[in-house]
Structure 1
């Protein structure tokens, strides 16, 4: 695919028309006046015209911008550098040019390279590249706020070495580098008691559940032990009754549900004015679950074209799962369409297959209480985040349902 569209400027044709007219004029005058000296400027003009045409054809004609799919992941306040690697395979150098591009307001560079545009910032950097040369341009940037940034409107402008007019090169493909800025963490208090114990695969020192396929040893028999737990071979070797001991396992898993909408007094839903706080609290929950080695899944009532038509991170654990969850939170945009909370709860209700803890971040509309009552009857614990004196506190669901 062609990378660049070259524009020689609207005065390019006028320039060559002027040169042609001067060549014809000096040539005709030299013939009529029989002045061979007039052929010198004629020849010089011909050389200038040919050199200009040569530079028109070769300058930037084989300029390549390396464009690999890359994601730069940051938290607000962190710094990094945007890198653009170019190669000039042409015989003509491009000198004293300016590389410019745009981004949204989620990132920002030094003021000397930056000016505000309608949807963010425009950047301009000095850039020159010799023939058959390769060079990397770096721009230090700082992550300002949560979101995803794409680099757009990449353009390189440089002066024509003979005509002294400006040549512009517009980059045609989508630039594949993106900057993903995770939400900050805002603490949620009252986390210590939030878990639902169920049979699972995670080892635990104390658990009411045992894996009967994973014996770990024996111990002395006590009168309360079931008869079928006696290990007869071990008892014969030791001369005393021995009881089989199995590995104790639990499943501590969370379902984090984020409601990014709030209702008006008339019952209409719109994006919450506390969106960034909600996502920051959800980020904290994801970090807390990962640090404690809990499995968790994440559901957000924002629509997207997918088998599941909402933002969803399947159940998992570990650092990679945390990174994927934070990236999901980072990709939420205010201008996206949302899914009504009742529809999201309905979908979740039909997919719950085991006991787990459900944590709801955001408002809980009254018409969704029916699902919470059903979950409670099945033994699931439901918690919600409420604000008290400016602090987010995790409390059992109380049918008040508001993230104030």
Structure 2
């Protein structure tokens, strides 16, 4: 690791230099051995001071792994990196670490300046010594926390100077703090009877390739679904019962740029719905009107399900901030609607301007049920959008 090194000389060094000149003149004038000894001793002091400040810290190596740790608010973890000193001994040093305030130290005093936490701890390392630096932290708010800089201050043993080593490059390790989940209540249940391939107890469709049992034959049951072996065993006509299937996928639309949008509340409601979808085995897709590079101009997570898919969604939510570049919300909705993919449930979260109404209506024309999530007194309410 390459450090930016700065050497600060104390005024005492200049005074010693002037004394050396005076001692040299006096030793020649008076021929005094004592004055000559003081001159030689002072020269060694000045040279030693110069060499120590010049060489100390030159072979201090910073080692850190590249890793991503995912946390919920109130979870604890630690920053950990290693300093290996291959050069001159470092005594009475000071280590300052700065990182984003999404996490805060647990055991160390700190200051928080413009969203950056700074921690100072004593530091010393003998030659060829490895020092593991561990700072326990607790997640306090949603977002991404990274170590922005490490500074090592090394004073001279006699207090005649100071060396400052700075590493201003962010380390590879980072911590993603997932959002809180704020409950979203639904006033009533609305069912969408679209054909699909997911198990759906309320669906009017079924999968003829997945029989799950039999029932006694009733008038009107299709003849081709009679279970002849079961009928022979029970001496009564039996009809196959199939697993009900339908479309259950949610499309979550999150607007992070509305004039009336409470960003953190909207993200927390979105996180709750994602958790709910995973618990109920509901596939979901997520779209956020934040610009990105690639095929899509905005964040879009394709349809998926399960914990792995939830982690991908929460990673996106953790990276959102008020400084994120956005695209107009209505343009994102229009683009998704124009792709021709049918979603049985479309859930809009956040503010929406009249310019986006037509696109939401477009989903309704395709057979989607469109819901809107509103935040009322710090609680979420999901209702059919009108």
Which TM-score bucket, shorter chain as reference? 0.7 to 0.9
Change in Cα spacing, 1:191 to 1:53, as seen in structure 2 (3 Å) is farther
Q: Are 1:4 and 2:3 an aligned pair?
A: yes
Displacement of 1:252 after TM fit?
Answer: 1.4
Q: Deviations over 1:357-399 (max 9, x none)?
A: 000112232222222223222211101123456642111112x
Matches within 5 A, 1:93-112: 93-109=89-105
Q: TM-score, normalised by structure 1?
A: 0.82
* Contact 2:249-2:283 within 8 A present in 1 as well: yes
Q: 2:180 aligns with which of 176, 179, 184?
A: 184
> Match for residue 314 of structure 2?
326
User: 2:74 aligns to what SS in structure 1?
Assistant: coil
Change in Cα spacing, 1:329 to 1:82, as seen in structure 2 (3 Å) is same
Change in Cα spacing, 1:151 to 1:11, as seen in structure 2 (3 Å) is same
> Match for residue 377 of structure 1?
365
* Contact 2:225-2:239 within 8 A present in 1 as well: yes
Q: Deviations over 1:188-217 (max 9, x none)?
A: 101772564544443456643333445567
User: 2:264 aligns to what SS in structure 1?
Assistant: helix
Q: Deviations over 1:219-271 (max 9, x none)?
A: 76655333444567888999987656554433311001112233xxxxxxx4x
> Match for residue 126 of structure 1?
122
Displacement of 1:339 after TM fit?
Answer: 1.4
Q: TM-score, normalised by structure 2?
A: 0.85
Change in Cα spacing, 1:302 to 1:70, as seen in structure 2 (3 Å) is same
Q: Distance in 1 between matches of 2:225 and 2:211?
A: 11
User: 1:334 aligns to what SS in structure 2?
Assistant: coil
User: 2:249 aligns to what SS in structure 1?
Assistant: strand
Residues 230-239 or 273-282, more deviating: 230-239
Residues 149-158 or 282-291, more deviating: 149-158
Matches within 5 A, 1:87-236: 87-90=84-87, 92-109=88-105, 113-162=109-158, 164-190=160-186, 193=189, 196-203=192-199, 207-214=203-210, 223-229=219-225
Q: 1:75 aligns with which of 60, 72, 75?
A: 72
Displacement of 1:127 after TM fit?
Answer: 1.6
Displacement of 1:68 after TM fit?
Answer: 2.3
> Match for residue 66 of structure 1?
63
> Match for residue 308 of structure 1?
296
* Contact 1:99-1:156 within 8 A present in 2 as well: yes
> Match for residue 339 of structure 2?
351
Q: Distance in 2 between matches of 1:87 and 1:199?
A: 63
> Match for residue 365 of structure 1?
353
Residues 77-86 or 197-206, more deviating: 197-206
Q: Distance in 2 between matches of 1:389 and 1:18?
A: 69
Q: Distance in 2 between matches of 1:83 and 1:314?
A: 35
Change in Cα spacing, 1:142 to 1:233, as seen in structure 2 (3 Å) is closer
Displacement of 1:184 after TM fit?
Answer: 1.1
* Contact 2:59-2:86 within 8 A present in 1 as well: yes
Q: Deviations over 1:37-86 (max 9, x none)?
A: 44433443343344335433542122122232222333333333322322
Residues 176-185 or 196-205, more deviating: 196-205
Residues 49-58 or 325-334, more deviating: 49-58
Q: Are 1:254 and 2:250 an aligned pair?
A: yes
- Report how many aligned residue pairs link the two structures: 386
Q: CA RMSD in A?
A: 3.3
Change in Cα spacing, 1:235 to 1:76, as seen in structure 2 (3 Å) is closer
Change in Cα spacing, 1:39 to 1:194, as seen in structure 2 (3 Å) is farther
* Contact 1:129-1:135 within 8 A present in 2 as well: yes
Displacement of 1:88 after TM fit?
Answer: 1.5
Unaligned stretches of 5+ in structure 2? none
